[in-house]
């Protein structure tokens, strides 16, 4: 039994027998009416602090100046990509428990592609659904904070909205409701997993065609050019061809808004503005935080991830995008205060992962850095295995955090799987840019405890969706097939360190906290503040927050 549950039972017993309630318990403020979780997709902690002097007075500064924030918050798993991060935030569990080992993976038996939130039994409402589209939390194996809240308070509402399907769905959990941006027409939609048709407020929101107001609109830098001297100038060699500078116009190549325009908005602050507008509509339409039970509103802002993939977190474009988000947050907090009341909610801001610098940027600083083509790596691996074991495609696919071997071929050749895996590991370690590699047997048995990055890699490993080889590249090396952009997905601090910012003066004492914490600690913390049990699969413990 956890502390919130024990406290409620103790208070009930005292009241039932006419006993006195301890002064400290009696003085405790009632729980928040609303938890607002803001997730900035692909936001490394360093960016929040690098531009602190340029922030608005009540956006991100609300957390840094009047909230509690952790300077050393990290993900504990190694494969730091979007879906595992979003799954961890409100479950308090690592991918080894959530089953969300990546954005996608391969079936370990058939090799068929799998998507983290795909569900063939569900379809988008009012929109065409493609195979492997994200439509439900079917693959999520543990409960979220929202699921616990709704079990304790059946009338509670849990709403999640995001630019990406996997972000909204994994934050909403099994019993919440997810809404996601449709790049086909700029609307927000849910799926038949959640409901048969949208409520009126969603239909009304989409009828206003919010995305169309950005057609032929320029994304212009907020500040004069001199303010961006600390970030990289536009049009770097590793930028995608075309569109690598501000101002950036959306829809210039189209006669009218269409799928190309709506999809392009994902790489801009405009999709984030629309996501927050939809969140405002949800607050009004569902009366979130305005009833007798607490609610949860989870908002994932997807634009920053698309921007950083294209231009890198060190770019002026990314720098300005964060400032744009900061101003959007300031306006959102103003409206949230008016709708719910400034003392009735707790706001949290974090990210699903950080971002590594583009390898070309790192190389210019004298670091050992480069790009490694995954097809080339798989080819080198197969070449070496063929020299040892004979002809055939011994290494089949990349899957989530690792590589799947060809089990059928290994059985046909009457070879031992572990022997082939050991040889594959030796070959991987000889490949350029590879730092460490571990086999399935080692990950299952935990036999390399204490070895470099072994524990984070075990936290990204699922026994039900195993890989035969898991590996990590050297720092500053990037696995990718293209010659442009940047990425994430490593156990290094560039990718694991994210913001952990909390605001709620009635419940949380403001200040910087340097105690190292993990993202799995967030869900148990919010559960404690809501007075409910932590999610059953949670691995973290409450953050070391001081009461006000």
Tokens of 437: 């590699």
Measure the CA–CA gap between 262 and 181, rounded to whole angstroms.
9
Measure the CA–CA gap between 517 and 511, rounded to whole angstroms.
15
Structure-derived torsion over alpha carbons of residues 459, 464, 468, 474, reported in degrees to the nearest 10: -20
Classify residue 367 as exposed, middle or buried by CB count within 10 Å of its CB (0-12, 13-18, 19+). Answer: middle
Tell me the mean pLDDT in the region 286-293.
97
Residue 482's pLDDT band, with cuts at 50, 70 and 90, is: confident
pLDDT at 1 over 60: no
Q: Cis link prior to 454 (omega < 30° from 0)? A: no
pLDDT at 22 over 50: no
Strand, helix or coil at 511?
strand
pLDDT at 8 over 50: no
What pLDDT is attached to residue 28?
61
pTM of the model: 0.94
Mean pLDDT of all residues belonging to the chain: 94
- DSSP structure class, residue 19: P
Residue 163's pLDDT band, with cuts at 50, 70 and 90, is: very high
Tell me the mean pLDDT in the region 385-401.
97
Helices 82-91 and 165-172 meet at what angle, rounded to 10? Answer: 20
CB neighbour burial string for 58-96, b if at least 16 within 10 angstroms, e if fewer: bbbbbbbeebbbbeebbbbbbbbbbbbbbbbbbbbbbbb
pLDDT digits (tens, 9 = 90+) for 30-67: 899 999 999 999 999 999 999 999 999 999 999 999 99
Closest C-alpha among 355, 358, 356 to residue 370: 358
Closest C-alpha among 424, 426, 431, 436 to residue 468: 424
Tokens of 466: 């195993």
Tokens of 419: 């022997």
What pLDDT is attached to residue 21?
39
pLDDT at 9 over 70: no
> In the chain, what percentage of residues exceed pLDDT 70?
95
What pLDDT is attached to residue 6?
44
What pLDDT is attached to residue 241?
78
Measure the CA–CA gap between 423 and 380, rounded to whole angstroms.
13
pLDDT digits (tens, 9 = 90+) for 504-544: 999 999 999 999 999 999 999 999 999 999 999 999 999 99
At 420, give phi and psi (nearest 5°).
-65, -40
Helices 303-311 and 316-340 meet at what angle, rounded to 10? Answer: 170
pLDDT digits (tens, 9 = 90+) for 235-281: 999 999 777 999 999 998 899 999 999 999 999 999 999 999 999 99
C-alpha dist (Å) from residue 198 to 124, 154, 179, 188: 11, 20, 10, 10
Residue 414 backbone zone (phi > 0: left; psi -120 to 50: alpha; other: beta)? left
Residue 495 backbone zone (phi > 0: left; psi -120 to 50: alpha; other: beta)? alpha
pLDDT at 4 over 70: no
pLDDT at 379 over 80: yes
pLDDT at 487 over 60: yes
Measure the CA–CA gap between 432 and 471, rounded to whole angstroms.
12
Q: Cis link prior to 467 (omega < 30° from 0)? A: no
Residue with tokens 């303010």: 227
pLDDT digits (tens, 9 = 90+) for 72-129: 999 999 999 999 999 999 999 999 999 999 999 999 989 999 999 999 999 999 999 9
C-alpha dist (Å) from residue 445 to 108, 181, 439: 19, 42, 10
pLDDT at 14 over 60: no
Structure-derived torsion over alpha carbons of residues 139, 145, 149, 155, reported in degrees to the nearest 10: -60
Domain covering 371-479, topology: Gyrase A; domain 2 (3.30.1360)
Tokens of 365: 């600083």
Tokens of 509: 């004492």
Measure the CA–CA gap between 164 and 50, rounded to whole angstroms.
27
What pLDDT is attached to residue 3?
44
Closest C-alpha among 83, 68, 35, 47 to residue 325: 47
Residue 24's pLDDT band, with cuts at 50, 70 and 90, is: very low
Measure the CA–CA gap between 21 and 14, rounded to whole angstroms.
7
C-alpha dist (Å) from residue 531 to 33, 87, 134, 261, 431: 12, 22, 32, 45, 51
CATH number of 31-358+496-530: 3.40.720.10
Which ranges in the chain are annotated with CATH 3.40.720.10? Answer: 31-358+496-530
Structure-derived torsion over alpha carbons of residues 518, 349, 306, 397, reported in degrees to the nearest 10: 30
Which ranges in the chain are annotated with CATH 3.30.1360.150? Answer: 371-479
In three-state form (DSSP H/G/I as H, E/B as E, the rest C), the secondary structure along 295-346 is: EEEEEEECHHHHHHHHHCCCEHHHHHHHHHHHHHHHHHHHHHHHHHCCCCEE
Strand, helix or coil at 438?
strand
Helices 145-152 and 522-530 meet at what angle, rounded to 10? Answer: 20
pLDDT at 407 over 70: yes
pLDDT digits (tens, 9 = 90+) for 133-162: 999 999 999 999 999 999 999 999 999 999
What pLDDT is attached to residue 243?
74
Is the distance from CB of 244 to CB of 234 less than 8 angstroms? yes
Tokens of 325: 């988000």
Measure the CA–CA gap between 428 and 312, rounded to whole angstroms.
28
């Amino acid at each position: 039994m956890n502390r919130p549950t024990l406290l409620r039972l103790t208070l009930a017993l005292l009241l039932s027998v006419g006993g006195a309630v301890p002064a400290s318990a009696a003085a405790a403020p009632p729980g928040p009416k609303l938890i607002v979780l803001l997730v900035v997709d692909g936001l490394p902690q360093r960016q929040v602090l690098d531009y602190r002097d340029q922030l608005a007075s009540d956006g991100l500064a609300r957390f840094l100046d009047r909230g509690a924030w952790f300077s050393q918050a990290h993900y504990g798993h190694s494969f730091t990509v979007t879906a595992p991060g979003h799954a961890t935030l409100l479950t308090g569990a690592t991918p080894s428990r959530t089953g969300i080992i990546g954005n996608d993976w391969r079936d370990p038996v058939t090799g068929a592609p799998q998507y983290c939130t795909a569900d063939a039994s569900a379809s988008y409402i009012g929109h065409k659904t493609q195979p492997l589209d994200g439509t439900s939390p079917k693959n999520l194996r543990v409960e979220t904070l929202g699921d616990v809240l709704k079990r304790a308070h059946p009338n509670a509402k849990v709403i999640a909205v995001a630019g990406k399907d996997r972000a909204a769905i994994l934050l909403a959990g099994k019993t919440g409701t997810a809404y996601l941006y449709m790049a086909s027409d700029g609307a927000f939609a849910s799926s038949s997993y959640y409901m048969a048709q949208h409520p009126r407020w969603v239909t009304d929101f989409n009828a206003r065609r919010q995305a169309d107001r950005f057609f032929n609109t320029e994304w212009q830098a907020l500040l004069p050019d001199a303010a961006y001297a600390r970030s990289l100038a536009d049009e770097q060699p590793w930028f995608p061809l075309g569109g690598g500078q501000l101002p950036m116009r959306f829809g210039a190549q189209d006669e009218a808004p269409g799928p190309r325009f709506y999809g392009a908005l994902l790489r801009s602050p405009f999709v984030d503005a629309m996501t927050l507008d939809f969140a405002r509509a949800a607050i009004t339409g569902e009366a979130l935080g305005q009833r007798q039970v607490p609610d949860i509103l989870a908002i994932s802002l997807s634009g920053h991830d698309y921007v950083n993939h294209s231009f890198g977190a060190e770019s002026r474009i990314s720098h300005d995008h964060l400032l744009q988000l900061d101003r959007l947050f300031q306006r959102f907090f103003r409206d949230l205060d008016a709708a719910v009341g400034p003392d009735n909610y707790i706001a949290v801001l974090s990210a699903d992962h950080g971002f590594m610098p583009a390898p070309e940027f790192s190389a210019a600083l004298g670091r050992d850095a480069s790009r490694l083509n995954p097809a080339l790596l798989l080819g080198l691996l197969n070449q070496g295995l063929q020299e040892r074991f004979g002809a055939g495609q011994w290494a089949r696919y990349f899957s989530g955090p690792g590589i799947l071997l060809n089990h059928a071929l290994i059985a046909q050749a009457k070879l031992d799987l572990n022997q082939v895996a050991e040889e594959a590991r030796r070959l991987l370690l000889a490949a350029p840019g590879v730092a460490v590699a571990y086999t399935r047997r080692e990950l299952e048995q935990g036999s390399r405890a204490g070895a470099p990055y072994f524990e984070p890699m075990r936290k990204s490993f699922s026994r039900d969706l195993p890989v035969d080889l898991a590996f990590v590249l050297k720092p500053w090396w990037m696995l990718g097939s293209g010659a442009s952009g940047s990425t994430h997905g490593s156990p290094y601090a560039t990718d694991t360190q994210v913001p952990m910012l909390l605001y709620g003066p009635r419940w949380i004492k403001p200040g910087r906290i340097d105690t190292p914490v993990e993202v799995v600690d967030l869900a148990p913390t919010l559960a404690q503040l809501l007075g409910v049990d932590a999610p059953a699969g949670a691995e973290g413990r409450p953050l070391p927050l001081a009461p006000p």
